[in-house]
């Protein structure tokens, strides 16, 4: 039954007046990177299966993965792996009821973003 006193107010904040928070954006990005990592893992498995199948099939798969687009996908996957790892550590901290205050939660969010970028660059330099 609808509340008669509600008037013309919206049921929830409208997107035009809602300001996304860093914690909500990073949480959504954690889910996106988790799904993207699944696709990157499937691409890697395809490459291994091609290597086990025949030299010709491996040459095709290797050409795709080592192409500019393949390199871009693998670089993005590397960033997603670091991001997802650091975001998981942040959630473990939160699961222990620590860092839940808004200023600390925002610092953790920025740490995940900056840390994943830094670790991606360091990994590319090392490899």
Q: Which residues are annotated as a binding site for heme?
A: 84
Exposure string (b/e) for 62-72, b if CB count within 10 Å is 16 or more?
eeebeeeebee
How many Å apart are CA 92 and CA 32, to the nearest integer? 18
Known binding residues are 84
Q: Count Cβ neighbours within 10 Å for each residue of 44-55 and write b for 16 or more, e otherwise.
A: eeebeebeeeee
d(CA 87, CA 109): 8
């Amino acid at each position: 039954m609808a509340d008669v006193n509600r008037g013309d107010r919206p049921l929830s904040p409208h997107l035009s007046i809602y300001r996304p928070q860093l914690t909500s954006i990073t949480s959504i990005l954690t889910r996106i990177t988790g799904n993207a990592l699944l696709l990157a893992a499937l691409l890697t498995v395809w490459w291994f299966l091609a290597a086990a199948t025949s030299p010709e099939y491996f040459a095709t798969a290797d050409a795709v993965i080592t192409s500019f687009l393949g390199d871009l996908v693998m670089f993005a996957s590397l960033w997603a792996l670091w991001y997802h790892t650091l975001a998981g550590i942040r959630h473990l901290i939160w699961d222990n009821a620590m860092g839940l205050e808004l200023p600390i939660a925002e610092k953790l969010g920025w740490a995940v973003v900056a840390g994943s970028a830094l670790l991606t660059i360091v990994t590319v330099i090392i490899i």
